[in-house]
Chains A and B, each alone.
Chain A
C-alpha cells in the first residue's frame, strides 16, 4: 500500500442521507474510516445499518450527501465502485443449485480481479468439497463459501451485514477469526454490522453507532474508551459537579455510578480533587449500550475522540 493510499480514508461519508418516501432511513451521516481498520457498525433494528451498507456498495443511491471509497465517490451501478468493495449480505445468499465450483466460476465470470487460487485454497483448508451443491452444505459452510467469494473478489473494502447471525458459536469464532486474518494479511478494510457487541469488542478497532437513522458515535475504539470513564461518587454529588458530560447515571443507596464522556485528564483532575471519588476505565460494551439507550445523545460526539482521519 502506498503512502498516499494510507492517508486517504477507506470509507468516508459526507452528510450522507437516504429517504424512503417521507421518512429518512439514514440522515446527516458524516465520518471517515482509515484504511486497514476493522469497523464495527452497531445499532438497533431499523437504525439504518443495511441502508448505509447498500449506499456504500451502490445498491442504493443517496438522497443527499455522498459516500466515497478510497477517495472516489461511490456511485450506484458503477463498475469502478463495485470493484472497490465486496459485500456479504445478511443470510449470505448463494445460488442453492450451484456447486461450490459453480459459485467460484460465477465469481470469476463477473469479477476481473477474481483470485481463483485464494478461493480454492480457502475451501480446501475448510474441507468444503468443490463438487458439493450449496444447498447440501451446513449453514456455517455456506457462510464460509460466501465469505470466500467476497474475499476472492480482492476488493480493498469488505462489508459484512450480520455475517454470523445464523451461525453456531464455534462457526462464529472460525468465521470472525478468518475475517481478522484476511484483514491482517492484505490490509483489507472491513466493516461489520452486528448486534453482537461483545464479538465486535474483540475484533474492531473502529466503531460506528447508528440510532434512528443518525450517527451517534464514530471513531477509533481506543479513543472512545479513553474519552469515557466510570466514576463512583457519593450519591449527593450533582451532575453539574461531575467532569465532562454525563451519559448514564445509576444511583444506589449511598453511591452513584456514572458513565461520563470526558478526557482522561479532566477525570484524573476531578478525582484527585475529591476524596471519596474513584474513576475506572469504561468498558466497550457498557459505553455502546449506554449510547444505544439514549438516542438523544446523537448530536455531538466528544471532541476528545473525533474523526481520526481528517
Chain B
C-alpha cells in the first residue's frame, strides 16, 4: 500500500517538493535581506538599550520595508498554496478513481476498500503534515526578525509561524477528498474543494480580526503629553509590549483604556484556528470513509 500510495501520488509529491524548493529559495533571500535590514537599521541594538522606547522611527521604517513589497509574494503564496495543494492532492484520490472507472480495479484486489482508503489517508496526511511543518519552519525562520518588533497574531505571521498552515492544508485536502467522492470528477472536486477551503480560511481570518476571542482590556495610567500622544499606532504600543496588537485607545482623566490582543494570545489562537481546520478536515475525511463503506451503487 505504501508503494501504491506513493506511485499514485507521485506527481503531487513532486509538485509539493517544487513548491517547497521555491519557498526555501524565496524565504532564504527574504530572510537574509530582512536580517541585514534589521541590523543596518540598528533596531537590535536600540531594543537592547531601551526595550523599544525611542526606537519607533527605526522600527516603523523596517516594518514598512519588510511588510510591503518584498514580503508580499510570500504572503500571497501562503494564502493560496495550502488550498491549491491540498485540493490537488485530495481531489483525485477518489475523484479520479471514480471518473476513470479504476475503482473497479482498486477495490477488487485483496484489500477491502475501506482499508485501502484509510491506509492511503494515513500516509498522505503524514506527508502533508511533514510538508506543512517544513514550510512553517522555513517561513518562521525568515520572518523571525520581524517577530521581534511586530504583531504575530495577524496574517501573514499568524499563518506562517504556527499550526495554521499545516492544519489548513489538511482542511483543503479533506474537503477535496469528499468532493471527489460526491462529484466523481477530479477537476470539479479540485475547484469545489478549493472554494470550500477558502470559506474556512475566511472564517479563520475573521478570528484574527472582528471575531478575535482573546481580546483584553487594560487601564494604563499616563500624564499630560504622553496621554495626548497615545494612539493605536504608537510604536512601541501603549501597552509597552512590541507584540501586542492595540485595537483601541480611549483617553480618560489620567489614564488610558486600551483594548488589545496580547502577544501571548498567539498560541491559544493557533490552537483555536488549527482546531477549526482540523475538525473540518476530519469531518470531511470521516464522511468520505463512511460514504465509501456504505456505498452500494
A: which residues have CB within 8 A of B?
20, 57-61, 76-79, 82-83, 85-87, 89-91, 93-96, 98, 102, 105-107, 109-113, 146, 149, 153
B8 interface contact, C-beta 8 A: yes
The reply to whether B109 and A153 contact each other, CB–CB distance below 8 Å, is yes
Q: A95-B102, A98-B7, A109-B3 are in contact. Are A77 and B112 (CB under 8 A)?
A: yes
B: which residues have CB within 8 A of A?
1, 3-4, 7-8, 100-102, 104-105, 107-116, 293, 296-297
Residues on B with C-beta less than 8 A from A98 are 7
The reply to whether A93 and B4 contact each other, CB–CB distance below 8 Å, is no
The reply to whether A111 and B3 contact each other, CB–CB distance below 8 Å, is no
Point out the residue from B4, B101, B104, B108 that lies within 8 Å of A109, measured CB to CB: B4
Q: A94-B105, A95-B8, A106-B7 are in contact. Are A83 and B110 (CB under 8 A)?
A: yes
Residues on A with C-beta less than 8 A from B100 are 93, 96
CB distance from B2 to the nearest CB of A (A): 8
Nearest residue in A to B1 (C-beta to C-beta)?
Answer: A109
Nearest residue in B to A108 (C-beta to C-beta)?
Answer: B3
Residues on A with C-beta less than 8 A from B101 are 89-91, 93
Counting chain B CB atoms within 10 Å of each CB, the highest count among A82, A113, A149 belongs to A82
Task: A98 to B111: give the CA distance in the assembly, Å.
Answer: 20
Q: A91-B101, A98-B7 are in contact. Are A57 and B113 (CB under 8 A)?
A: no
CB distance from A194 to the nearest CB of B (A): 17
The reply to whether A59 and B107 contact each other, CB–CB distance below 8 Å, is yes
The reply to whether B296 and A60 contact each other, CB–CB distance below 8 Å, is yes
Residues on A with C-beta less than 8 A from B105 are 89, 93-95, 146, 149
The reply to whether A59 and B102 contact each other, CB–CB distance below 8 Å, is no
Nearest residue in A to B10 (C-beta to C-beta)?
Answer: A97
CB distance from A84 to the nearest CB of B (A): 10
Tell me what chain A mostly uses at the interface: helix, strand, loop, or mixed.
Answer: loop
Q: A77-B293, A79-B111 are in contact. Are A110 and B4 (CB under 8 A)?
A: yes
Task: A80 to B296: give the CA distance in the assembly, Å.
Answer: 19
Task: A112 to B110: give the CA distance in the assembly, Å.
Answer: 7
CB distance from A60 to the nearest CB of B (A): 5
Task: A59 to B111: give the CA distance in the assembly, Å.
Answer: 12
Task: A91 to B105: give the CA distance in the assembly, Å.
Answer: 11
Q: A102-B7, A106-B4, A106-B7 are in contact. Are A59 and B104 (CB under 8 A)?
A: yes
The reply to whether B296 and A61 contact each other, CB–CB distance below 8 Å, is yes
Task: A94 to B113: give the CA distance in the assembly, Å.
Answer: 17
Q: A77-B293, A95-B8 are in contact. Are A87 and B108 (CB under 8 A)?
A: yes
Q: A89-B101, A95-B8 are in contact. Are A20 and B111 (CB under 8 A)?
A: no
User: Would you list 12 pairs from A and B whose C-beta atoms are within 8 A, ordered by A residue?
Assistant: A76-B296, A77-B113, A82-B112, A89-B101, A89-B105, A90-B101, A93-B105, A95-B105, A110-B4, A110-B110, A112-B110, A146-B105
Nearest residue in B to A91 (C-beta to C-beta)?
Answer: B101
The reply to whether B102 and A82 contact each other, CB–CB distance below 8 Å, is no
Counting chain A CB atoms within 10 Å of each CB, the highest count among B7, B110, B296 belongs to B110
Nearest residue in B to A50 (C-beta to C-beta)?
Answer: B104
The reply to whether A107 and B109 contact each other, CB–CB distance below 8 Å, is yes
CB distance from A220 to the nearest CB of B (A): 28
Residues on A with C-beta less than 8 A from B102 are 93-95
Residues on A with C-beta less than 8 A from B110 are 79, 82-83, 110-113, 153
The reply to whether B3 and A105 contact each other, CB–CB distance below 8 Å, is yes
Task: A245 to B114: give the CA distance in the assembly, Å.
Answer: 50
Residues on B with C-beta less than 8 A from A93 are 100-102, 104-105
Residues on A with C-beta less than 8 A from B4 are 106, 109-110
CB distance from B98 to the nearest CB of A (A): 11
The reply to whether A82 and B109 contact each other, CB–CB distance below 8 Å, is yes
The reply to whether B1 and A110 contact each other, CB–CB distance below 8 Å, is yes
Task: A96 to B7: give the CA distance in the assembly, Å.
Answer: 12
The reply to whether B1 and A78 contact each other, CB–CB distance below 8 Å, is no
Nearest residue in A to B3 (C-beta to C-beta)?
Answer: A109
Q: A109-B1, A110-B1 are in contact. Are A89 and B104 (CB under 8 A)?
A: yes
The reply to whether B297 and A20 contact each other, CB–CB distance below 8 Å, is yes
Residues on B with C-beta less than 8 A from A76 are 296
CB distance from A86 to the nearest CB of B (A): 8
CB distance from B269 to the nearest CB of A (A): 42
Task: A90 to B101: give the CA distance in the assembly, Å.
Answer: 9
Point out the residue from B108, B114, B293 that lies within 8 Å of A59, measured CB to CB: B108
Residues on B with C-beta less than 8 A from A113 are 110
The reply to whether A110 and B112 contact each other, CB–CB distance below 8 Å, is no
Task: A94 to B108: give the CA distance in the assembly, Å.
Answer: 13
